[in-house]
Structures are given as structure tokens and as C-alpha cells.
Amino acid sequence: MAAKETKEPTAKETVMAAYVTDNYFSKGHWWTKIWQTLMAIVFWICVAIPVYWTISSTLLINNHRFIHAWRYEEGRTLFYFFDRFFIIAFIILAVIVIISTIHNNHRVKQHVEKTVQYDEAQLLARKQQLEAFYTARFGNKDFRENVRSYHVKPEQNLEVNEIHKLYKKEEK
């Protein structure tokens, strides 16, 4: 038998493992997966049945390929009587959903505790390395930030992955 090959993680998989935490898609957590899948199916059924019921019994009443929930004229008359109500209700619900989404996004951005996804000490060290590199390559920080026009000489251009190589060299 041939030995199993070990698959090296790609860069995307490494980044996903470092920054994305979701019990549904991670290994294990079977009860979470079963519960969330069942709830999603149940709630989609709760959305689909009334929509099908209403459309099949009003707009598609003459199409015999559909099973109609009701066929009596009073139901259709009542539906078309309330069409303005349904349109207004839809608009009001859409406004409420949009306002709730904006409020929730604001609450998440401003009030929910955020977990730090990076090493602050390493970030500070990298900023210092980058500043020293820029000072050596392009001149003083005050000059770089306050000059109106700056022309980079061809020998000052950055190579591909030069900053990445700088970080790797300093980490060793």
C-alpha cells in the first residue's frame, strides 16, 4: 500500500483558519450543524407555503398544473380587496427590515466586543521595520509626507515581495 500523502494547506486555507471562526463549517459540532440545518429548512417551509398558497389560488387559478389551496370566489375577492393593504404592508416591512439592518450593523460596529485577530507586538515591530526601511530608501518621514512632488529614481523602486522578504528576514 502506498503511504498517504499529506496535503499542505494553501495560503487561503491558512488565512481562513486564522481569521474565520464558524462552528457550522468547522470539524465536529454535529449538533450545531443538525440544529441549524433543520431550523433553516423549517423556516424556509414557513415562507414557501403561504407564498405558494396565495399565488396558486389567485394568480394561477386557471392553471390546472398547480394544486390550489382554495378555489372559492370569496377568497380571491378578499385577496384582491386587500391588495393595497398587502402592498403597503410590504413597503412598511421593507422599511423596518432596512432600518433594523442599519441599526444592527451600527450596534455590531460600535458596541460588540471585538476579538483581536493579530499580534499587536508583531504589528508594532513590523511598522518600525517598515519605517526604518522607508527612511533608508526614500528619506526622512517629515520630508516624505510634506513634499509636494516626489520623483522615485529607478533604483528606489520596490522589488516584488520586498516588504514580505523584509518581514521574514527580521523574524528569523
pLDDT in tens, 49-95: 988 888 888 778 788 888 877 777 777 787 778 888 888 999 999 99
Helix axes 30-58, 73-81, angle to 10 degrees: 100
What pLDDT score does 4 carry?
A: 53
pLDDT in tens, 33-60: 999 999 999 999 999 998 888 888 877 8
Residue 33 has which C-alpha cell? Answer: 450543524
Greater pLDDT, 142 or 18 = 142
In the predicted model, what is the mean pLDDT of residues 113-134? Answer: 84
Residue 133 has which C-alpha cell? Answer: 526601511
Tell me the C-alpha distance between 75 and 70, whole Å: 7
Instruction: Tell me which residue has cell 518621514.
Output: 141
What pLDDT score does 170 carry?
A: 75
pLDDT more than 90, % of the chain: 23
3-state secondary structure of 75: helix
